[in-house]
Amino acid sequence: MSSEKPGKPGGDRSYKRSWKNLLINKRYQLRFTLFMVGVTSLLMVGLGFWVMRVANETTTVSKASVRGEACPQVPVLGDAARGHDDDDPPPPVPSMKLDEVPDGPTGDTPSPAAAPVEPAPAAEGSAPSAAPAAPLTDKAAAALPTGKADAPPTSTVDAAGKAGSSPADEPRHVTVQIDESSMTLTATVPPDFGARVVAHWICEIRQAGTFERLERGRARILWAMIVTGVLLVLGLAVYGLKMTHRVAGPLFKVGLYLSKMRAGRFDKVYNLRKGDQLVEFYDHFKLAHGGVVAMQQADITRLAAVIAAAEAAGAGQHPAVAELRELLSRKEKSIE
Amino acid sequence: MSDPTSIGLPDALRPKHHRKLSNYMLDKNLQLRYVLLVTLLSAGIAGALGYMIYDQRRTASESIERDLQVLTQSNAGDQEFQDHVSNGLQSDDQLLVYKMVAVGLGLVIILSAYLVIMTHKVAGPLFKISMYFDRMAAGRLGAVTPLRRGDMLQDFFSDFKDMHEALRARASADLAAMERAASSLRDTRNQADYRGEAQGKLDDALDALDHHLADRKKQLA
């Protein structure tokens, strides 16, 4: 704090506040500043935890909501190769009875005994019943056209006595010999396969983006509160010290004058700095100071009168007068 | 407010001053500034964070309502259930607002009351010292009574009290010295051969000094 020096007679010298002197009454200033900072910190932390708890709940709910929006499934290639969707009816199960005539475009219907074995449909677009009356070798070749089945004759049916013999005479047993065969199937991709895959992954990416955005929003709230809280606490600490300094400053100044008065010196009292508080209190102090100075002046007047009268009466050398002179000198010096 | 500087009885017999509610605001400028700053700041923080809490909660409720609406849109019979859930969520959110407002108001009231008491512990000593200053301005240097327990600025008051006692002691010493000198001069006057007119002036000066010292004695009482 700046020391008191006599300067302008008006008593309105302007002191500049220095940061070094900000804390001049630790007990008072720290108590009020720390209380203010403590309350703020408590509120920020307490309500901050509450905010984060609710924000976490909101994030969880929002994520659940996003998860609830089902993305279109990626079609399985095997299903597509079968050429039907899940909603399509299943393919007809071929009969295991050789005497049954399968449905389909048939020309000449052979006798039941001569009915060939119907192979299972291999792929979409195949013609499973192109030549029902033909031997299985021919049928297999017909059933896998366009080179999809380049296998050798797969089976030979030895239907002994099938032609020209009466069904009633012949036993119904037939001998079926199935040779080793192989078949290569090439899946046929449905026309909307690509669009469905793209739609699926767009949905997945959009959901992932939404999750990330929600997490970012939650983190933003957390960081915003932390930064705001720290800045608020620091700002309040500085502001609190400055605010209490405007009270502690006048008290410090009055304290300096009190020390001087205790030592018997009644110097001129200067005004407070601009912005200081306790102006009324300081006015009271100035009046008190003035009152004490007036007491000294009254003493000086009386003492001077007595000393002058004593000197006029020829008692100037009296020890009592000498003592009064000393007293007068001290009092005059005290109010210089 | 009763005069905190009143004297006349010994400390043990002096009635203890109790703080009165009406006297808590001794220095409005000093106290209100701090009280309002802290209270408004706290209210601002509580309001801002409270709004964030409400906003987050409302967002969650709206999300739940939206999802429920999607789930129940195919069945008209579920509309009642959806309305029930929506109303429940809205009333919960409303209740949260009421709770937060109540807590905020309670916080502001308790904080303000505490701060008034806290600042009163600074304003009280300043008020008491101001009254002593007024007495000093009138030339009265009576005894100084201590501060109440719990008051702040004890160091400052101690400085003031030291100064006041030093002034009082010095004034008493000066008074005694002047009385001694006056008495000595009167005794000498009766023995010595003072000149006529000058003797009369010395008598007048000594009489005036006696009056002055009598007044000073009263001021120091």
Cβ of B41 and A236 within 8 Å? yes
- Give how far A288 is from chain B: nearest CA, Å: 4
Q: Decide if pLDDT at A128 tops 90.
A: no
> Which residues does chain B have within 8 Å of residue A51's beta carbon, measured at their own beta carbons?
49, 52-53, 56
> Which residues does chain A have within 8 Å of residue B41's beta carbon, measured at their own beta carbons?
36, 40, 236
Residue of higher predicted confidence among A135 and B166: B166
What is each CA distance from B169 to A299, A320, B7, B165, B183, in whole angstroms? 15, 21, 18, 6, 21
> Which residues does chain B have within 8 Å of residue A225's beta carbon, measured at their own beta carbons?
49
Q: How many CB pairs under 8 A join A and B?
A: 213
Cα–Cα distance measured from residue A181 to residue A144, given in angstroms and rounded to the nearest whole number: 13
Tens-digit pLDDT profile for residues A184-242: 766 677 788 888 889 999 999 999 999 999 999 999 999 999 999 999 999 989 999 98
pLDDT value at residue B5: 53
Structural element, H or E, at residue A157: strand A155-158
Say yes or no: B70 contacts chain A, CB-CB below 8 A. Answer: yes
Best CA proximity match to A217, nearest among A55, A67, A68, A64? A55
pLDDT value at residue A330: 92
Q: What residue spans define the domains of chain B?
A: 21-138, 139-221
Cβ of A281 and B201 within 8 Å? no
Q: Decide if pLDDT at B160 tops 90.
A: yes
Say yes or no: B75 contacts chain A, CB-CB below 8 A. Answer: no
Cβ of B34 and A65 within 8 Å? no
Closest residue of chain A to B58, computed from CA coordinates: A58
Cβ of A302 and B212 within 8 Å? yes
**Which member of A25, A309, A323 has the closest CB to residue B181?**
A323
Assess contact for B185 and A285: CB atoms under 8 A: no
Query: In this structure, what DSSP letter does residue B165 have?
Result: H
Each residue of A38-67: b (16+ CB within 10 Å) or e?
ebbbebbeebbebbbebbeebbebbbebbe
Cβ of B52 and A309 within 8 Å? no
Query: In this structure, what DSSP letter does residue A88 have?
Result: S
Tens-digit pLDDT profile for residues B84-136: 888 999 999 999 999 999 988 998 999 899 999 889 999 999 999 999 999 99
Which residue type, as a one-letter code, is found at position A266?
F
Cβ of A306 and B163 within 8 Å? no
pLDDT value at residue A167: 53
Assess contact for A305 and A321: CB atoms under 8 A: no
**Which member of B46, B133, B184 has the closest CB to residue A43?**
B46
Tens-digit pLDDT profile for residues B24-64: 888 888 888 889 988 999 899 999 999 989 998 898 899 88
**Which member of A44, A258, A310 has the closest CB to residue B163?**
A258
* Model confidence, pTM: 0.67
> Which residues does chain A have within 8 Å of residue B192's beta carbon, measured at their own beta carbons?
314-315
pLDDT value at residue B98: 93
Cβ of B171 and A27 within 8 Å? no
Cβ of A319 and B66 within 8 Å? no
**Which member of A43, A50, A68 has the closest CB to residue B42?**
A43
Alpha-carbon dihedral angle through residues A200, A205, A206, A210, given to the nearest 10 degrees: 140
